[in-house]
C-alpha cells in the first residue's frame, strides 16, 4: 500500500483554557489554503458558540473516527481532522484509518452565533490532552472558539513548536473522492425524532463481527426503523452497524436522525447517517461493508478517464470561490458547459480533495486538501492498467463490440444503452457496482479518442500489462479495507 508522509506544523498545541467569563477552545491550524494562497497557520474563526457542549462532543466524534480502524482494529496514528471555512459555516472532516467511514461535523451559522468564518482549508490539532479536556466539559458555560492562532501568537512565536509527521495512505485521499461520488447519489430515506433516534441507535451492536454476518438492512416502520434480513422495498442498508458508535457522543443533544442512501435492490450499498444538533449536523457515511473501504469503489474512474473532464475541471475550479453550496446547474450556466460535463469536472476535482458533497443541502462544497490533483489518478490501479492497455494497442473496436488483449487472454467488451459489460472476472463479481473494470475503461477511453503515449521501456508489450487478478491484488493490499 503506497504511503506518503504529511507534515503538520502548529504554532502551539490546541487547548481548552479557563478565561474570565467562560472557556476558550483554541484550535491550532497547520499548512492551509485560502483565497490569498497557501498560509502556514490560517485563521478561520473567532467567536462564541451557541451550544458549547454539543460542539465539543461533535468534534470528539470526528476525532474518534480519525483515530479508528473498524476493519481489523489495531493501534495506529490518529490523523488530525480537516477543517474548512466556507464563510457561513465550519466543516470538520475525517476518515477512518481503514477508509470505510467518513465523518463530518458541520457547524452552521446558527451554531456559530451568526458570526462569519474565513475561507480556506487546513488541519486542526486535536491532541490527547485536548480530547480529555473536551470530554470533561459540562454544562453550557460560555465557550469562545478560535480556529487558528490569535494575533499575539502570529507576531511573537518564532516558528512551529508542535510538529507531527503522519503516515498517510494515498487511498485515504481516494476515499474522500469516492465518498463524494457515492453521496451524490443518495436520497433521504427516513427521519426519526430525537427520542426514536436515541432508542434505535442504542440498540445497535458496539463490537465487531458484523463483517462476517453480512449486510444488515433497516426499513421505516411508523416512527422508527425496523431491522430486516433482506433489501425489501424502502429498506436502507446498514453495513457494519458498530461503525456508528461515534454518534453516541452527541445523542444527548440530538434533535433528529436522518438516514440517506440509494434504493436498496440487492447487494450491500453505502449509506449516510446524520444526527441533527442545535446549529450543527454530524454525519457518518459508511462504505458497503466493514471490510471494504471507499478507496476501491471506482466511482471516479469514468471522470478520470476523459481528457474533456480535465480541461473542464480547470475552468470549473476557477469558479468555485469557496462557496458553501455549489449547484451544478448554476455552475454550468456560469461556465457555459452542459450540466453533465460540470458534474464530471466536479468528480475530477474531488480526486484532488477540492470538492465535497453535502447530502443535507444536496449540493457540493469547495475545499482544498493539500494534495496534487494527479495523486488519486496516478495511484488508481484500474486507471493505470487501462492506460497501459491503451498505450500497448491492446484495444480493438468493432461497433458495439470491442476486444481487449490482456496478459495471455482476450476479453470481450460490449456496449448496451451506454453501459459497458465485460467477460472478465471483475465484471462477473461486481457487475459494475464498483465502477468499470480496466478493460471496459480502456475501451471507453479508446472510443473517446484518448491518446496515451506508448511505454518508453524497451521491449514493453501487451503481455506486460497486468491481468485482472494482479490489479485486484493491488486493490486488496494488506492493511485494511480496500
pLDDT digits (tens, 9 = 90+) for 379-414: 567 777 888 888 888 999 988 899 999 888 999 999
Q: What's the number of domains the chain is made of?
A: 3
Whether 17 is in a domain gets the answer yes
User: Assign residue 87 a region: left if phi > 0, alpha if psi is -120 to 50, beta otherwise?
Assistant: left
Question: By the 8 A CB rule, do 79 and 94 touch?
Answer: yes
Q: Report the distance separating Cα 257 and Cα 175, nearest Å.
A: 24
**What φ, ψ does residue 465 adopt, rounded to 5°?**
-75, 125
Q: What integer pLDDT is reported at residue 198 of this predicted model?
A: 92
Assess whether 212 and 81 both reside in one domain. no
For residue 78, what is the DSSP state? Answer: P
Assess whether 148 and 235 both reside in one domain. no
3-state secondary structure of 441: helix
Q: What integer pLDDT is reported at residue 142 of this predicted model?
A: 83
- The length of the chain in residues reads 482
107, 140, 169 - which closes a domain:
169
Assess whether 237 and 282 both reside in one domain. yes
Whether 352 is in a domain gets the answer no
Q: What integer pLDDT is reported at residue 361 of this predicted model?
A: 94
Question: By the 8 A CB rule, do 429 and 419 touch?
Answer: no
Assess whether 71 and 138 both reside in one domain. yes
Whether 323 is in a domain gets the answer no
Question: By the 8 A CB rule, do 63 and 82 touch?
Answer: no
In the structure grid, which three cell numbers stand for residue 448, read together? 473517446
Assess whether 151 and 188 both reside in one domain. no
Assess whether 268 and 400 both reside in one domain. no
Residue of 347, 345, 352, 379 lying closest to 367 (CA atoms): 352
Strands of the 409-416 sheet, one edge to the other: 395-398, 401-406, 409-416, 419-422
Calculate Rg over the CA atoms of the chain.
23
Whether 330 is in a domain gets the answer no
CA distances in angstroms from 43 to 142, 146, 147, 284, 435, listed in the order given = 21, 8, 6, 27, 39
Assess whether 15 and 156 both reside in one domain. yes
Assess whether 140 and 20 both reside in one domain. yes
Residue 244: Cβ within 10 Å count: 18
Q: What integer pLDDT is reported at residue 457 of this predicted model?
A: 42
Q: What integer pLDDT is reported at residue 214 of this predicted model?
A: 56
Assess whether 149 and 185 both reside in one domain. no
Q: Report the distance separating Cα 91 and Cα 298, nearest Å.
A: 26
Q: Report the distance separating Cα 332 and Cα 335, nearest Å.
A: 5
Assess whether 206 and 109 both reside in one domain. no
Assess whether 142 and 24 both reside in one domain. yes
Question: By the 8 A CB rule, do 204 and 253 touch?
Answer: no
144, 169, 194 - which closes a domain:
169
CATH number of the domain encompassing residue 60:
3.10.150
Q: What integer pLDDT is reported at residue 429 of this predicted model?
A: 82
Q: What integer pLDDT is reported at residue 210 of this predicted model?
A: 40
User: Assign residue 214 a region: left if phi > 0, alpha if psi is -120 to 50, beta otherwise?
Assistant: left
Residue 451: Cβ within 10 Å count: 9
Give the side-chain half-sphere CA count within 13 A for 420: 26
Give the side-chain half-sphere CA count within 13 A for 166: 22
Residue 372: Cβ within 10 Å count: 12
Assess whether 15 and 148 both reside in one domain. yes
Cα-to-chain-centroid distance, residue 91: 13
296, 329, 353 - which closes a domain:
296
In the structure grid, which three cell numbers stand for residue 429, read together? 463479481
Model confidence pLDDT, tens digit, residues 262-299: 876 777 888 999 999 999 999 999 998 887 777 554 55
pLDDT in tens, the chain (482 residues): 445 677 888 988 999 998 877 889 999 999 888 888 888 889 999 999 999 999 999 999 999 998 888 876 654 556 789 999 999 999 999 988 888 899 999 999 999 988 889 999 999 999 999 999 999 888 777 889 999 987 533 333 344 467 887 766 666 777 777 888 888 889 999 999 999 999 999 888 775 444 435 578 999 988 899 988 888 888 999 988 989 999 999 999 999 999 999 876 777 888 999 999 999 999 999 998 887 777 554 555 665 656 677 778 878 888 888 889 999 999 899 888 899 888 888 887 877 778 899 999 999 999 987 655 555 455 567 777 888 888 888 999 988 899 999 888 999 999 887 778 899 988 888 777 777 888 988 888 888 777 776 655 434 433 333 343 333 333 333 334 33
Q: Report the distance separating Cα 179 and Cα 358, nearest Å.
A: 11
Whether 191 is in a domain gets the answer yes
Domain, as residue range, for 21 = 3-169
Cell numbers 444538533 correspond to: 277
Amino acid at each position: 500500500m503506497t504511503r506518503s508522509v504529511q507534515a503538520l506544523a502548529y504554532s502551539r498545541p490546541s487547548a481548552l483554557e479557563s478565561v474570565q467569563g467562560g472557556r476558550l477552545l483554541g484550535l491550532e491550524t497547520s499548512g492551509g489554503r485560502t483565497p490569498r494562497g497557501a498560509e502556514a497557520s490560517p485563521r478561520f474563526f473567532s467567536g462564541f458558540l451557541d451550544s458549547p457542549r454539543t460542539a465539543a462532543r461533535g468534534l470528539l466524534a470526528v476525532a474518534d473516527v480519525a483515530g479508528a480502524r473498524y476493519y481489523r482494529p489495531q493501534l495506529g496514528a490518529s490523523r488530525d481532522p480537516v477543517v474548512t471555512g466556507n464563510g457561513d459555516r465550519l466543516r470538520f472532516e475525517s476518515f477512518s484509518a481503514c477508509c470505510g467511514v467518513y465523518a463530518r461535523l458541520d457547524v452552521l451559522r446558527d451554531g456559530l452565533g451568526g458570526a462569519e468564518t474565513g475561507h480556506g482549508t487546513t488541519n486542526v490539532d486535536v491532541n490527547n490532552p485536548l480530547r480529555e479536556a473536551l470530554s470533561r466539559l459540562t454544562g453550557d458555560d460560555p465557550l469562545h472558539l478560535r480556529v487558528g492562532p490569535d494575533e499575539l501568537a502570529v507576531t511573537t512565536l518564532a516558528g512551529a513548536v508542535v510538529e507531527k509527521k503522519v503516515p498517510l495512505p494515498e487511498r485515504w485521499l481516494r476515499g474522500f473522492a469516492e465518498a463524494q461520488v457515492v453521496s451524490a447519489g443518495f436520497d433521504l430515506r427516513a427521519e426519526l425524532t430525537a427520542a426514536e433516534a436515541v432508542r434505535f441507535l442504542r440498540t445497535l451492536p458496539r463490537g465487531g463481527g458484523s463483517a462476517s454476518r453480512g449486510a444488515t438492512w433497516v426499513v421505516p416502520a411508523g416512527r422508527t426503523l425496523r431491522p430486516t434480513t433482506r433489501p425489501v422495498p424502502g429498506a436502507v442498508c446498514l453495513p457494519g452497524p458498530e461503525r456508528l458508535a461515534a454518534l453516541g457522543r452527541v445523542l444527548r443533544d440530538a434533535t433528529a436522525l436522518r438516514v440517506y442512501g440509494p434504493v436498496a435492490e440487492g447487494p450491500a450499498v453505502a449509506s449516510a447517517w446524520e444526527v441533527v444538533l442545535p446549529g450543527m449536523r454530524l454525519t457518518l457515511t459508511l462504505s458497503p461493508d466493514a471490510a471494504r473501504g471507499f478507496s476501491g469503489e471506482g466511482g471516479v474512474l469514468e471522470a478520470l478517464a476523459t481528457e474533456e473532464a480535465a480541461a473542464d475541471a480547470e475552468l470549473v475550479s476557477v469558479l468555485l470561490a469557496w462557496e458553501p453550496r455549489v449547484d451544478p446547474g448554476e455552475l454550468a450556466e456560469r461556465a457555459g458547459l452542459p450540466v453533465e460535463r460540470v458534474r464530471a469536472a466536479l468528480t475530477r476535482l474531488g480526486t484532488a480533495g477540492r470538492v465535497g458533497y453535502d447530502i443535507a443541502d444536496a449540493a457540493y462544497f469547495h475545499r482544498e486538501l493539500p494534495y496534487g490533483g494527479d495523486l488519486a489518478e496516478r495511484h488508481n490501479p484500474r486507471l493505470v492498467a487501462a492506460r497501459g492497455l491503451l498505450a500497448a494497442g491492446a484495444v480493438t473496436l468493432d461497433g458495439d463490440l470491442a476486444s481487449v488483449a490482456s496478459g495471455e487472454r482476450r476479453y470481450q467488451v460490449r456496449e448496451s444503452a451506454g453501459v459497458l459489460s465485460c467477460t472478465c472476472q471483475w465484471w462477473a463479481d461486481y457487475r459494475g457496482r464498483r465502477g468499470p473494470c480496466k478493460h471496459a475503461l480502456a475501451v471507453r477511453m479508446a472510443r473517446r479518442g484518448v491518446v496515451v503515449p506508448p511505454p518508453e521501456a524497451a521491449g514493453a508489450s501487451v503481455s506486460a500489462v497486468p491481468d485482472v487478478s494482479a490489479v485486484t491484488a493491488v486493490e486488496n493490499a494488506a492493511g485494511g479495507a480496500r
